[in-house]
Structure 1
Amino acid sequence: MYFMQPTTHNTCGTDGDQCQLKLVNYEAHENHISHETQGLSKTHLVVRRGKPFKITLMFDNQWNPLLESLVLEVWLGDMSERIRVQSSNEWSDPLRWSAKINQSDIHPKSVTIHVCSPVLSSVALYELLLHIETKQYRKSYVVGTFVLLCNPWLKDDPVYMPLDVQTEEYVKSDYGLIFMGTPLNICRRPWSFGQYESGVLEACLKLLQVSPQHLSDKNQDFVLRTDPVYLSRVLCAMVNCNDDLGILLGKWQGSYKEGVKPTEWSCSADILHQWVSSNCRPVRYGQCWVFAAVLCTVMRVLGIPSRVVTVFNAAHDGDGSVRVEEYYSSTGEKLNISKDSIWNFHVWVECWMRRPDLGPGFDGWQVVDPTPQERSAGIFCCGPCPVIAVQQRRLNAPFDAAFVYASVDADIIRLVVRDGLVVGRMVDTQAVGQLIYTKSIGSDRPENLTPAYKRKRWDQPAGPVRGSAHRAELGSSCSNQSQSSPVMGGGGAERSHSLEVSLDVDGVPAVGDSIILCVWVTNQSDCSRVLVEYLNAQFKEFDSGPQKSFWKTRRKVHIKAGEVLKLTHTIPTAEYEAYLAGDDIVNVAVVIKDIRTNRRVLAAQEFSISSPRITVEIEGGDTIKQNKEHTAQVSFINTFPQTLSGAVLTVEGSGLLGGKHEARLFFLRPGEQIEAQVSIMASSPGTKVLMATFSHSNCPSVVSRSFHTVSVIAE
């Protein structure tokens, strides 16, 4: 890459026959390969700190090293450092900027300079000047700019990762998977981090430049940018817009007409481009996985190894009690009266770094959560919190260890309420943080991170939970005594073990299937009992409380001493399809009441309903060439027993398609197919995501989505 002749910055004395700088070659291709920064920018030289890069200076006359000294000067904000270019094969102080020339790099009218930054340099866009100095004069040139990033390949950098497969996955890969749903029905959606899309690097640098820290004191901000702990806190806060000019505005309920529904995003680059083009106005809208995916993109771009992590059954503990209370009616309906909540899944980011501020025992993966939930030191961010601190229950460790610990390991106190009194109390120590997943290195399989967070409690094998039960026990029931207590204040705890109840879901229900529920009741006492079973089903969103019940049943059952009863129930499709909306999750709960004692026991379960499948096929396979047109065939077959009216099949894909492409049918009869054929072409290499959606007017709120990954190879 050659530049126009630089302009003179400062001139002293006379030029005479002395050499003048004519052209600069940033050796971008070679530097980008050497620094693992290929594709990050088409306009800037992008290099990593602590590793030499080279530039070639071309003069109009022969440069005389005996008479003329070369001095580089790097500027960052109002700060600068002069670097005298040495003729040496050795590097000088590694804690300071240095530059050298090898004898083999000196030619009649050009010279190649090798420049090395300190390993703890600030992440930023730098300006570079050149001074040609003799005893009589100094001629100065503005050479240009370059971007300096963290260096996870360098052992002395705090973000160093020892294995190439790790840096390939957690720094260079522009493709990820986000796990969603419930432990009973885990779904995965691909995400394009998009760090090689045009303008993304520049957007990440702009994010730092408009942060409150930079706007209040830019020089101090530049100095602190050497530290990945500082960078992660600044960037975490900037991904949400609650305190600043950040990227995303969160929304979890209501209409999304003023923006994009969070489920429709599949690429960080789209979000970053919109934020930049709108002059830093917040992009509408984000939810936890969108916040996390965008933060992961920014971190990878700046050289901090990062991965997206999903916690299933994540607790939001607002009062710091490390427990969450849930309230149910005496007939099993979940009540929205708790200040705390449990999200079926919550997504955050782990970043890899050393923690010299805490000591070597806290190095490694750190939780950084950009979803605005609680303030940390006055701003909406969370972390970096060492994962090992959560595992070891070091709740005082910075930053936000207690909050993160509660998210993955809080106890659930389930209270059964009747007439304002607690008539049943169960403690569940296993449900929160039941599974913690991330994408495996080099594979779409999930990596189970639960043991890293929960060493003592975790003893289950990796993989999705199937048919797991929430169990609770009821006290001895051969007496006719009962207990109750006010709702506020707890009480009513059952300590003996005579009745055990669990609730399972048979298989993974899909839209259009009946839901099969199995209630298991074990009588561990030495007497028969007469029980009343109340079973209740409600819809809910992943991050909020349930709606009113859409189905309930009640029956009286007899159980003998020592007997195990299996009570099976079916919820037909017709009972729920009119109430199903979008990506709803089903909460089912059973309350078993002992008629003699009036004591109650509760078991609960939540699961998602799978959407019908959309098929995506790429002509010639899922690997395509850059800048070459390919055809994608997208289809949906109506597997429902009824005709669907107003069928719409939509296809879109960042970096593959411009805008949305739709196919429509007035009627789609059972067994019939709707198809969309689109031409795709990628302008940059990497992994892209095609998203297809299907909707129909029979149930407008239910939309099926499918995500298909496409690998793009360079020309």
Structure 2
Amino acid sequence: MEPLVVDVVHFYPKENAQPHNTSKYEVVNDETPTTTIVRRGQPFNGVVRFNRPYQEEVDLVQLVFTLGDKPQMDTQGSVFLRRDAVSDKHSWSAKLTNVQEDTLSFEVSTPVHLPVGSWVLRVVTRLKNSPARQIYDFDQDLYILFNPWNPDDQTYMEDCSLLQEYVLNDVGKVWVGPIKTTRGKPWVYGQFDAVVLPACMFMLDRAEMPFHQRGDPVKLTRVISRIVNSNDDAGVLVGRWDGQYEDGTAPSEWTSSVDILQQYLETQQEVPYGQCWVFAGVVTTVCRALGIPSRVVSNLVSAHDANSSLTVDKYYTENMEEMDFDPNNPQGADSIWNYHVWNDVWMARPDLPQGYGGWQAIDATPQETSSGLYQCGPASLEAIKQGVIGVAHDVEFMLASVNADLMRWRIDSDTESGFSVVDTNNYHIGRMILTKKPFVFDPIGDEDRENIIDQYKYREGTASERLALMNGVRYSERAKRYYSVASNLSSDVSFKLRELDSVPIGKDFRVTVDIENKSDQGRNVKASLSATSVFYNGVRADVVKKVEGKIFVAPNKSEQISILVTASDYLPKLVEYCNMKISAMVIVEETKQSWADDDDFQILKPNINIKFNEDLVLGQPTTAILSFTNPLEEALTGCEFRVTSTGIVGRTLRLPAADVAPHGLLTAELPVQPNKLGKINIVATFKSVQLKDINGAASVDVFEG
């Protein structure tokens, strides 16, 4: 008698997907799916058919599951099919559930700490008293993912309803722009697209992450934060912030992570170009695809502390002219980004003392190295909030990002350090920390915005907030030095820079400083006012207008100084996202009192309007109208829309549009054929030679015919 020969193995991809919360993956919904996607620590069903009836007394059937090319204890599961198999959350088992002559039904249980990835199955058959064996290699994909629904999984989220948002929602919002004009930019995560899981596997292989570590969400999310940028290891995206994107895709044009991951997988080359929210969008796609709860987080007014002082330091000459370098840190100056976007991922932290589990911050935008590589996190939000910078990973960097103090220093030869403090601002950094509210999607407004700042820090100015920051300072020798120099400053003239909320593109604006002399003597004030176009990471592009002068302020009187900036001044000098910085610097001649302040705002652009003239019916072609009014005094040329949706044939479409006259209405027709029922989301961006980074979105219902 010969050993059994396998005829076919089948894993019921559709049926297993239901209890495993994986039925949204596109490949599972093919006519005859050949890819199985299940979650670890939860049984799944299969069937095997042989060339002859199975005889329990003589036949042995062994299932050997392996991950990677060098199986070891953690990346191999070898089990015999047995009627009396008992499932156990720490080990593999395969229970025989039904025998019908040549066909066996079985249930496989996997360990709850299993490494995730694309597992390979080999079926080995032999007779009980014979060494001869038959081998069958199953040639279909079997993905085993994290299981945040399982209380024993490290990614478990107690409020399972939130997993609908943080694992299963494939569309979201990323808040971008300065504090006063920040807006939600719709983003298609598309984690269920057929290309995403293969791209994730390719990324982890490219990062050379050991297979046996791929079940640990702490190690895995740290690797994800490194491999989504291309700085160390030919990762997914090349970061670029200088406005020169002709040889790739401008960051503002992307609408979806899927196009990026598809290009990465197909070309096996890093994709140009990304900025922080693009990195963060891809990270959330990868994490949700693998089963790790994730959200995109925007920190408005974000510090980049280049020298671990827990301060952001700005330096001025004796005459209060701003210096564009840090004389105390030749490696690089601190900077303040209008906003910075990273991710939170959810997990238990058995590697840390109790109380540091839950949301953890990871940041894939390459800013500083951590352990020699461009990676950041996972940093426990609880540790950031308490200022506990001694726990892994990168808590100090994240604490500074959301809660550093802004310190201004002036060269002063009379002091021991060579600098005196102009002022310190405890309130400037980390003004709002925004993410998308669960279960809400508002394509045109901000109803879906949630401020989670209290998860990152105590309310500014409270004793708890100061204590948490000083707790961090206590652990850092450099920070201690900086904070000891900042002493009380006396001043008898007060200054206030008037904030600008927003300026519609094409309109003029004014920079104004109010001055109040509280002393009994007249004061001569030397002042400098400027307006500069800036990139969102705080790098200055072009001075739009600058004036310097002197004003006399009589005793106990108020004055104001201002400059008018016209549209013709700033339009030629705007850079991407139209961010502007207004700055004021003054010095009082009699007392040498100095003061400086700046404010960021955005020149506002219109949104794309997306309208349908009729109801959407599954499978039936229709048309969407995209439109907005040209806000400029000049024509728009080289116009193109880019549209992404998870519910239309073609996924991402490019749509050229005709030139449009000054203040004219720009419209384009988009052919749409819905391929799934229920609510679908459409995300659009627009670019032209004269105007870029115009966005829009819509949510529409698709009905049965």
Query: Which residue in the other structure is 2:38 paired with?
Result: 47
What letter is aligned with 1:455?
Y
Q: Are 1:95 and 2:90 counterparts?
A: yes
Question: The residue matched to 2:374 in structure 1 has which SS?
Answer: coil
1:516-542 deviations in Å (ceiling 9; x for gaps): 445343444455645455322111111
Question: The residue matched to 2:167 in structure 1 has which SS?
Answer: helix
**Counterparts of 2:401 and 2:135, CA distance in 1:** 57
Question: The residue matched to 2:392 in structure 1 has which SS?
Answer: coil
Q: Structure 1 length normalisation: TM-score? A: 0.84
Please tell me whether the aligned partners of residues 527 and 586 of structure 2 are also in contact (alpha carbons under 8 angstroms): yes
Query: Which residue in the other structure is 2:147 paired with?
Result: 151
Query: Which residue in the other structure is 1:464 paired with?
Result: none
Query: Which residue in the other structure is 2:15 paired with?
Result: 30
Query: Which residue in the other structure is 2:457 paired with?
Result: 454
Please tell me whether the aligned partners of residues 369 and 383 of structure 1 are also in contact (alpha carbons under 8 angstroms): yes
What letter is aligned with 2:270?
P
Please tell me whether the aligned partners of residues 687 and 711 of structure 1 are also in contact (alpha carbons under 8 angstroms): yes
Residue 627 (structure 1) shift: 4.5
Change (3 A) 1:587 1:518: same
Query: Which residue in the other structure is 2:478 paired with?
Result: none
Residue 131 (structure 1) shift: 3.4
**Counterparts of 2:57 and 2:622, CA distance in 1:** 60
Change (3 A) 1:714 1:370: farther
Worse-matched range after superposition: 585-594 or 647-656: 647-656
Query: Which residue in the other structure is 1:82 paired with?
Result: 78
**Counterparts of 1:231 and 1:649, CA distance in 2:** 38
**Counterparts of 1:512 and 1:394, CA distance in 2:** 47
Q: Are 1:357 and 2:346 counterparts?
A: no
Query: Which residue in the other structure is 2:573 paired with?
Result: 579
C-alpha RMSD of the superposition: 3.2
Worse-matched range after superposition: 630-639 or 554-563: 554-563
Give 2:123's match in structure 1, choosing from 130, 146, 152.
130
What is the 5 A alignment of 1:277-316?
277-278=266-267, 280-316=268-304
Please tell me whether the aligned partners of residues 632 and 678 of structure 1 are also in contact (alpha carbons under 8 angstroms): yes
Query: Which residue in the other structure is 1:478 paired with?
Result: none
Query: Which residue in the other structure is 2:507 paired with?
Result: 513
1:6-33 deviations in Å (ceiling 9; x for gaps): xxxxxxx525xxx653333311111111
Give 1:318's match in structure 2, choosing from 306, 309, 322.
306
Question: The residue matched to 2:377 in structure 1 has which SS?
Answer: coil
What letter is aligned with 1:91?
V
Residue 688 (structure 1) shift: 4.8
1:171-193 deviations in Å (ceiling 9; x for gaps): 11111211111112112211111
Please tell me whether the aligned partners of residues 123 and 225 of structure 1 are also in contact (alpha carbons under 8 angstroms): yes
How many residues align? The count is 653
Please tell me whether the aligned partners of residues 425 and 491 of structure 1 are also in contact (alpha carbons under 8 angstroms): no
Q: Are 1:679 and 2:671 counterparts?
A: yes
Query: Which residue in the other structure is 2:472 paired with?
Result: none
1:455-478 deviations in Å (ceiling 9; x for gaps): 153669xxxxxxxxxxxxxxxxxx
Please tell me whether the aligned partners of residues 530 and 557 of structure 1 are also in contact (alpha carbons under 8 angstroms): yes
Query: Which residue in the other structure is 2:334 paired with?
Result: 340
Structure 2: 5+ residue stretches without partners: 28-33, 327-332, 442-447, 464-481
Give 1:234's match in structure 2, choosing from 207, 223, 246.
223
Please tell me whether the aligned partners of residues 331 and 536 of structure 1 are also in contact (alpha carbons under 8 angstroms): no
What is the 5 A alignment of 1:397-412?
397-412=391-406
Question: The residue matched to 1:575 in structure 2 has which SS?
Answer: helix
Question: The residue matched to 1:578 in structure 2 has which SS?
Answer: helix
**Counterparts of 1:612 and 1:195, CA distance in 2:** 30
Q: Structure 2 length normalisation: TM-score? A: 0.85
Change (3 A) 1:256 1:645: closer
Change (3 A) 1:603 1:638: same
**Counterparts of 1:201 and 1:154, CA distance in 2:** 21
Please tell me whether the aligned partners of residues 313 and 346 of structure 1 are also in contact (alpha carbons under 8 angstroms): yes
Worse-matched range after superposition: 570-579 or 492-501: 492-501
Residue 329 (structure 1) shift: 6.6
1:480-538 deviations in Å (ceiling 9; x for gaps): xxxxxxxx999896612533322233432110222244534344445564545532211
Question: The residue matched to 2:503 in structure 1 has which SS?
Answer: coil
Query: Which residue in the other structure is 2:170 paired with?
Result: 174
**Counterparts of 1:63 and 1:489, CA distance in 2:** 78
Q: Are 1:112 and 2:109 counterparts?
A: no
Query: Which residue in the other structure is 2:248 paired with?
Result: 259
Query: Which residue in the other structure is 1:203 paired with?
Result: 199
Question: The residue matched to 1:319 in structure 2 has which SS?
Answer: coil
- Report the identity percentage: 28
**Counterparts of 1:272 and 1:586, CA distance in 2:** 33
Q: Are 1:141 and 2:133 counterparts?
A: no
Query: Which residue in the other structure is 2:628 paired with?
Result: 636
**Counterparts of 2:145 and 2:461, CA distance in 1:** 38
Query: Which residue in the other structure is 1:692 paired with?
Result: 685
Please tell me whether the aligned partners of residues 531 and 593 of structure 1 are also in contact (alpha carbons under 8 angstroms): yes
What letter is aligned with 1:124?
G
Query: Which residue in the other structure is 1:662 paired with?
Result: 656
Please tell me whether the aligned partners of residues 280 and 363 of structure 2 are also in contact (alpha carbons under 8 angstroms): yes
Change (3 A) 1:599 1:351: same
What is the 5 A alignment of 1:417-456?
425-444=422-441, 445-455=448-458
Structure 1: 5+ residue stretches without partners: 1-12, 214-220, 461-487
Please tell me whether the aligned partners of residues 188 and 644 of structure 2 are also in contact (alpha carbons under 8 angstroms): no
Please tell me whether the aligned partners of residues 336 and 546 of structure 1 are also in contact (alpha carbons under 8 angstroms): no
Residue 619 (structure 1) shift: 3.8
1:42-101 deviations in Å (ceiling 9; x for gaps): 24201100000001223454434344343322122332332122324x733321101113
**Counterparts of 2:420 and 2:5, CA distance in 1:** 89
Question: The residue matched to 2:596 in structure 1 has which SS?
Answer: strand
Residue 549 (structure 1) shift: 2.6
Residue 654 (structure 1) shift: 6.0
1:635-688 deviations in Å (ceiling 9; x for gaps): 222344x352637353433655564211213x5144x32211110235578855
**Counterparts of 1:575 and 1:155, CA distance in 2:** 60
What letter is aligned with 2:65?
V
**Counterparts of 1:416 and 1:618, CA distance in 2:** 59
Please tell me whether the aligned partners of residues 642 and 655 of structure 2 are also in contact (alpha carbons under 8 angstroms): yes
Give 1:609's match in structure 2, choosing from 587, 597, 603.
603
Question: The residue matched to 1:708 in structure 2 has which SS?
Answer: strand
What letter is aligned with 1:300?
R
Give 1:56's match in structure 2, choosing from 33, 47, 50.
47
Please tell me whether the aligned partners of residues 120 and 226 of structure 1 are also in contact (alpha carbons under 8 angstroms): yes
Worse-matched range after superposition: 397-406 or 687-696: 687-696
Worse-matched range after superposition: 590-599 or 521-530: 521-530
Please tell me whether the aligned partners of residues 385 and 400 of structure 1 are also in contact (alpha carbons under 8 angstroms): yes
Residue 591 (structure 1) shift: 2.8
**Counterparts of 1:304 and 1:84, CA distance in 2:** 31
Residue 620 (structure 1) shift: 3.7
Change (3 A) 1:30 1:183: same
Please tell me whether the aligned partners of residues 167 and 292 of structure 2 are also in contact (alpha carbons under 8 angstroms): yes
What letter is aligned with 2:117?
A
Query: Which residue in the other structure is 2:644 paired with?
Result: 653
Please tell me whether the aligned partners of residues 505 and 515 of structure 1 are also in contact (alpha carbons under 8 angstroms): no
Query: Which residue in the other structure is 1:225 paired with?
Result: 214
Residue 714 (structure 1) shift: 9.7
**Counterparts of 2:515 and 2:277, CA distance in 1:** 38
**Counterparts of 1:711 and 1:459, CA distance in 2:** 45
**Counterparts of 2:635 and 2:462, CA distance in 1:** 46
**Counterparts of 2:50 and 2:538, CA distance in 1:** 67
Question: The residue matched to 1:99 in structure 2 has which SS?
Answer: strand
Residue 426 (structure 1) shift: 1.5
What letter is aligned with 1:186?
T
Query: Which residue in the other structure is 2:330 paired with?
Result: none
